[in-house]
Chain A
Amino acid sequence: MSSLEAHLPILQVLVPLVGALLTSFFRRGVFAWALALLACWACFVIAVWLLWTVMASGQPIAYVMGPWSVPQGIEYRVDVLNAFVLVLVTGVGAVVMPFAKRSVALEVDEHRQAWFYTMYLLCLAGLLGITVSGDAFNIFVFLEISSLSTYVLIALGRHRRGVLASYQYLIVGTMGATFYVIGVGLLYLVTGSLNLADIASRLGEAPVEFLRPIHAALAFLIVGICLKLALFPLHVWLPNAYAYAPSAATAFLAGTATKVAVYLLIRIFFSVFGFSISFEALPVADVLMVLSVAAMFLASLSAVFENHGKRMLAYSSVAQIGYITLGISLANQAGLTGSIVHLFNHAITKAGLFLALGAVFYRIGSLRISDFAGLGRKMPLTMATFVVGGLSLIGVPGTAGFISKWYLALGALERGYWPLLFLIVISSVIAIVYVGRVVEAAYFRETSSRAAEAREQPLSMLVPTLVLAAATIYFGIDTRASVDVAATAARMLLGGPQ
């Protein structure tokens, strides 16, 4: 057992990667699905195991690849922060999988269904690789793996606009990746290293004349990553990509892809460049704060005026990402805790909401909000989960969303930013409006012709939706698992290099 435990970091990436390879041999979607299901749950077990080990020992796990020693060889490094993100990503991946079977069978052409699972696992492998790796260039490779498989996932749906959305994302995503690799290149020029921890220690002793390329590297990295995490105004690719991807893919991506990018941003800011370069030399915090607040308001308002369910939630995602980056820009214990815990809380909330929408699409074949009329009576459990998710987006106490807002507000107040405190709470009130529109349609309108024939979603889809809704409530009440880990991670990040 202990020999297996030693190799957990690499297994975390290898399992989905090999799984992806194997699923590509299948022609029938069902077999590919079964294999993917197995791989996803195996990943989840590995991630929980890793988090458990790291929390118990309090020490990061370092895993060195092959016979090369650290600065030259590739190192995987698992600390509390990325173990937490690993659990989140694999958890969402595993919960969505049972849902995917029927949903994909409906939304993807039969001869492409096996491909869907291949790309799903490949994307999972890429995201996990970004998270687990401690090597800047290795991260770039995984970034590309996850991006390329995401483009395919988005384009796999029956909707032809999916191809256009995918192409749009491809262009933006490639730009992001290029910016990232330029940043990494500049860092390599200055420090001669690609290992994140090594870069961090060498940056500290870099001579003054190197400051300019270091700042340039930071700028390139930030812009590159912010394209991936859809920070306002670099978010334009996101609504279409989410709207036209197959439902299972949307739920998976919404819960994982942007979250991993946020993780990378946190890693670059706090672990690589450190607080002094990230926030004192350049006005990064101010810019990030302004853009975050803009996202919270403008994207929320876009969601209010959106008539397509998935696009509405997509804009809401852009707004919620604003909360996460806001916490990063506060850069204090409470704010950063809020950020990390919102990363988690928003992922489960939004994945659950997208699953509920996927179920609605499965039954009525439309996601126009006007077609939701009467669904509260026809699909009571599905709409109940939607209400729970909606309450969490608003930040009603008793749901996960409240916990993160509480910390963000605390972080703002500890800095003495009273106006920011009010901006946080006012923007969450906007969520009442866009969530309320769906609730009103579902519960109070005359049943629409599309909804007339609808009934509750099949059990294999219902259970994952209910699990995520239950988690949304659970993590709003018992926060030991989420907040404590997030607080530990925040303390580690603010306490200088690990």
Chain B
Amino acid sequence: MIAALTPETLVLAALAVPSVAALLIPLFHRAPNLRETVTLAAAAALAVIVWSLLPHILAGVRPEVNLFRILPGVELAFQVEPLGMLFALVAGTLWLINSIYSIGYMRGNNEPRQTSYYVCFAIAIAATMGIAFAKNLFTLFVFYELLTVSTYPLVTHKGTPEAMRGGRIYLLLLLGTSMVLLLPAIIATGVFAGTLDFTPGGILAGKASPAILGLLLALYAFGIGKAALMPFHFWLPAAMVAPTPVSALLHAVAVVKAGVFTVLKVVIYVFGLDLLTNMGGTGWLIYVAAFTLIAASLIALRQDNLKARLAYSTVSQLSYIVLGALLASTTSVIGAGMHIAMHAAGKITLFFCAGAIYVAAHKTEVSELDGIGYRMPITMTAFLIGALSIIGVPPLGGAWSKWYLGLGAIDADQLFVVAILMISSLLNVAYLLSIVGRAFFILPSSEPAAVGSLSAARNEQGIAEAPLACLIALCATALISIALFFAAGSLEQLVRAALATPPLQEGIQQ
């Protein structure tokens, strides 16, 4: 049935399904099971929709939907290109898994205000789809801001003073950077280029002086605060006060990937790789990204709070993608695009595990996790898989994106970047595998009397895993991390299609 729909209808459906879900969920406020059914049904429908869009995109179709004109020359319009397809696939698929996890987590924790939680979540996903399918910078900006505003209630969900403080930083930093830096950049792009449409090959070539272009690039790089380039990364650790499913899907996948996705879109479709390579002025931004990459890893190393450690790890991993985009060689951009999917699968697994540990054992600090592997073997095995993928060990997805990023750095004659990538991988090992090590090889310190072997400790405590819904979700994402290693070829093909200029333009004119 879905196959019979035109790709244009599918695009609209991808936007409509989560929006309708957001409207329906409050109706079932008093019937939690029905309410969660709405979320699950919408998530399943969205997953089917985005996956059935994929064959069209691979066949070279670029479905386009022009909704309406907002201002003269500025339209709310959508067009699916390969990169957006990739982002939509990642977010759409993981929303389904995350919804299953959410139910286990929110009920397991008896969280308050679950209805508004699911509503905001659905709106955030709708906004993510809008970002993924945006045809022009303006549409992207509208949904970018909607994503910030709709996730603010999720960050402050707990309602504690700490949550309020986190929410304040979140809102001020994200809205602040986007309004003060990104919006002027978009307006200036419109004035210079005369259009805001994403166009293969870019729209800015020859339209402004190198100095202005350099300024614009910096405005974009820092203005897209969701990409968490230092010094505008504070919002991400602050957002960790949110319930873990929010951190998992939004602050490891949807929101942060919306940031780096926007950076990639700007690099590929607004500047164009040729212009970026030739214009100069990108060098210092590459250093900023490289600095963020290392510095965030070092900070992660010192975090005892598990979610904070994962958050800084995300900051660092996002810079891989920004770095890949700024290097502006074909290979590095492919690596950056692939890393969106690879990091998403790996990091969401890690967050799922962190949430599972919180639900089952009420532990939040790394130092409390001694021996937890014996109580929660499935969870910690999934954690290991996720961690290895982030580090980039074959046969896990993360290996490929780092491989391409490294090759891209060599292509771009930036050998120091290769060194940076290697150092960072070592740091990843240090801050992620140390957690696994504690979980499996150190005895719980709370029981100093236990002199026996580790297996004795295991027998005493017994297995106490998180609710089944949580387990299903974290196993699924761990398996995806493995599957991505073998699916890397098609992933690479998809991202490469975004860079292929000539056939694309024919597709647009159709």
Contact = CB atoms under 8 A, between A and B. Distances in A.
B159 A429 contact: no
Given A391-B149, A406-B187, A410-B187, 12 more contacts: A396-B149, A397-B141, A406-B71, A409-B187, A410-B190, A421-B184, A425-B180, A429-B176, A429-B180, A436-B171, A444-B159, A479-B71
Contacts of A224: none
Interface of A: 391, 394-398, 403, 406-407, 409-410, 413-414, 421-422, 425-426, 428-429, 432-433, 436, 440, 443-444, 477-480, 483, 487
Given A432-B172, A444-B163, A422 B72 contact: no
Contact of B145 (A398, A422, A429): A398
Interface string B182-213: 01100110110000000000000000000000
A436 B71 CA distance: 28
B363 interface: no
Interface of B: 68-72, 76, 141-142, 145-146, 149, 153, 156, 159, 163-164, 167-168, 171-172, 175-176, 179-180, 183-184, 187-188, 190-191
Given A425-B179, A425-B180, A426-B180, A413 B159 contact: no
A405 B176 CA distance: 15
Nearest to B172: A432
A429 B180 CA distance: 8
A403 B72 CA distance: 11
Give the 3 A-B residue pairs with the shortest CB-CB distance, closest first: A397-B142, A425-B180, A429-B176
A425 B191 contact: no
Contacts of A391: 149
B36 to A, nearest CB: 22
Contacts of A428: 179
Nearest to B188: A413
Nearest to B181: A425
26 contacts: A391-B149, A396-B149, A397-B145, A397-B146, A398-B145, A403-B70, A406-B71, A409-B183, A409-B184, A410-B191, A413-B188, A413-B191, A421-B184, A425-B180, A428-B179, A429-B176, A432-B175, A440-B167, A443-B153, A443-B156, A444-B164, A444-B167, A477-B68, A479-B70, A480-B69, A483-B72
Given A444-B159, A477-B70, A429 B179 contact: yes
A440 B161 CA distance: 10
B212 to A, nearest CB: 9
B225 to A, nearest CB: 12
Nearest to B191: A413
B184 A425 contact: yes
Contacts of A433: 172
Nearest to B156: A444
Contacts of B68: 477-478
Contacts of B145: 396-398
Contacts of A483: 71-72
Nearest to A395: B179
A477 B67 CA distance: 11
Nearest to B153: A443
Contacts of B191: 410, 413-414
B71 A396 contact: no
Between B72, B141, B190, the greatest number of chain A beta carbons within 10 A of the residue's beta carbon is seen for: B72
B171 A432 contact: yes
Given A406-B71, A414-B191, A444-B164, A398 B175 contact: no
A440 B172 CA distance: 13
A21 B183 CA distance: 51
Nearest to A426: B180
Nearest to B142: A397
A429 to B, nearest CB: 5
B37 to A, nearest CB: 24
B180 A413 contact: no
A429 B71 contact: no
Contacts of B141: 397
Given A396-B175, A413-B188, A432-B175, A440 B142 contact: no
B207 to A, nearest CB: 14
A208 B302 CA distance: 77
A296 to B, nearest CB: 14
B316 to A, nearest CB: 27
Between A397, A425, A429, A478, the greatest number of chain B beta carbons within 10 A of the residue's beta carbon is seen for: A397
A403 B142 contact: no
Nearest to B76: A477
A280 B72 CA distance: 30
A391 B145 CA distance: 11
Nearest to B184: A421
A426 B156 CA distance: 25
A395 B156 CA distance: 22
Nearest to A409: B187
Given A391-B149, A397-B145, A409-B187, A403 B176 contact: no
A192 B226 CA distance: 63
Contacts of B171: 432, 436
B357 to A, nearest CB: 27
Contacts of A409: 183-184, 187
A398 B72 CA distance: 16
Nearest to B190: A410
Nearest to A394: B175
Contacts of A480: 69
A51 B191 CA distance: 31
B231 to A, nearest CB: 16
Given A414-B191, A483-B71, A436 B168 contact: yes
A443 B159 CA distance: 8
A440 B156 CA distance: 10
A443 to B, nearest CB: 8
A457 B26 CA distance: 21
Given A397-B141, A397-B142, A440-B164, A421 B175 contact: no
Contacts of A396: 145, 149, 175
B262 to A, nearest CB: 14
Nearest to B180: A425
A397 B153 CA distance: 18
A426 B180 CA distance: 6
Given A391-B149, A422-B184, A403 B179 contact: no
Contacts of A432: 171-172, 175-176
Contacts of B156: 443-444
Contacts of B70: 403, 477-479
Nearest to A414: B191
Contacts of B72: 483, 487
A420 to B, nearest CB: 10
A265 B190 CA distance: 31
A458 B187 CA distance: 43
B164 A425 contact: no
Contacts of A421: 184, 187-188
A477 B75 CA distance: 10
Contacts of B142: 397-398
A264 B184 CA distance: 31
Contacts of B180: 422, 425-426, 429
B146 A398 contact: yes
Between B145, B156, B168, the greatest number of chain A beta carbons within 10 A of the residue's beta carbon is seen for: B145
A377 to B, nearest CB: 10
A266 to B, nearest CB: 21
B213 to A, nearest CB: 14
Contacts of A397: 141-142, 145-146
A202 B167 CA distance: 60
Contacts of A395: 179
Given A436-B168, A479-B71, A429 B163 contact: no
A332 to B, nearest CB: 12
A393 B153 CA distance: 19
A414 B194 CA distance: 12
Nearest to B215: A418
A407 B69 CA distance: 15
Nearest to B161: A444
Contacts of B172: 429, 432-433, 436
A398 B172 CA distance: 18
B76 to A, nearest CB: 8
